[in-house]
Chains A and B, each alone.
Chain A
Amino acid sequence: NAGVMQNPRHLVRRRGQEARLRCSPMKGHSHVYWYRQLPEEGLKFMVYLQKENIIDESGMPKERFSAEFPKEGPSILRIQQVVRGDSAAYFCASSPRSQTFTDTQYFGPGTRLTVL
């Protein structure tokens, strides 16, 4: 059973460009979470999505950031007009959220975004 897949693993963008980060959850998982890890800091929650629904985006900046989890295909985290402060590692996690939900989220390898 493949784990959570993220691509690309490394992404370099110039200021003002758009960054698109993709996440494919584990097989059988329908709930996706995005976290951001800044240097020397812990992971910070950004957004929680189910298929075609954003459940909680309270951790995501109001401007330039958006996320989606379409019926078909991976979850996408989009950052428009990137700035240097967006440089970070972005991790995606997934969980089954079945009746036996246990809070355990399984993480992907992350996408390391560098903004020049």
Chain B
Amino acid sequence: EDKVVQSPLSLVVHEGDTVTLNCSYEVTNFRSLLWYKQEKKAPTFLFMLTSSGIEKKSGRLSSILDKKELSSILNITATQTGDSAIYLCAVVSDSNDYKLSFGAGTTVTVRA
């Protein structure tokens, strides 16, 4: 069974700080890794990383995939209170290319 571990479980920062979230995985026939942001509603898609696209950036958010270390990081720079959310990491294997295997998430709280 695929395994996804996120760390830390939670963290509290102040506006303007930079946060780094970690995701490590064990999956047979890795296909892709996805990051989602979950507030009190639908998880919203942030990035998808694959062997052919190991680095993504959008505004203050960026993510890198390290296939050698079987991990990914999600960076948020110049944090704002609106960044407070649970950040979810999920992996997909070629064996079941429709099944997202999620980690437990990292809860980020940004204080004003």
The answer to whether A42 touches B105 (Cβ under 8 A) is yes
Is A98 part of the binding interface, using a Cβ–Cβ cutoff of 8 Å? no
* Complex contacts, A33 vs chain B, CB 8 Å: 98, 100
Is B99 part of the binding interface, using a Cβ–Cβ cutoff of 8 Å? yes
Knowing A40-B104, A42-B104, A42-B105, the reply to whether A107 touches B98 (Cβ < 8 A) is: no
Knowing A42-B104, A43-B88, the reply to whether A110 touches B41 (Cβ < 8 A) is: yes
Give A71-116 interface residues, CB cut-off 8 Å to B: 91, 93, 95, 97, 101-110
| Minimum CB–CB distance for A57 against chain B, Å | 11
Dominant SS among interface residues on chain B: strand
The answer to whether A109 touches B102 (Cβ under 8 A) is no
The answer to whether B92 touches A110 (Cβ under 8 A) is no
Contact pick for A35, options B4, B31, B96, B100, CB 8 Å:
B100
Interface centre among B42, B44, B96, B101 (most CB of A within 10 A): B42
* Complex contacts, B103 vs chain A, CB 8 Å: 42
Give B38-55 interface residues, CB cut-off 8 Å to A: 41-45, 48
| Minimum CB–CB distance for B23 against chain A, Å | 11
Contact pick for A42, options B44, B48, B97, B102, CB 8 Å:
B102
Chain A interface extent, by class? 20 to 34
Knowing A42-B4, A109-B42, the reply to whether A103 touches B97 (Cβ < 8 A) is: yes
The answer to whether A104 touches B88 (Cβ under 8 A) is no
Q: Can you show 21 pairs from A to B with CB atoms below 8 A apart? A: A3-B42, A4-B42, A33-B98, A41-B104, A42-B88, A42-B103, A44-B102, A45-B99, A91-B42, A91-B43, A93-B100, A95-B98, A102-B48, A103-B31, A103-B34, A103-B100, A104-B48, A107-B36, A109-B41, A110-B41, A110-B42
Please name 19 further chain A to chain B contacts, defined as beta carbons within 8 Å, in addition to the given A45-B101, A102-B32, sorted by A numbering. A3-B42, A35-B100, A41-B104, A42-B102, A42-B104, A42-B105, A43-B43, A43-B102, A48-B99, A56-B99, A91-B42, A93-B100, A103-B34, A103-B92, A103-B97, A105-B45, A107-B43, A107-B45, A110-B41
A residues apposed to B, CB below 8 Å: 3-4, 31, 33, 35, 40-45, 48, 55-56, 59, 91, 93, 95, 97, 101-110
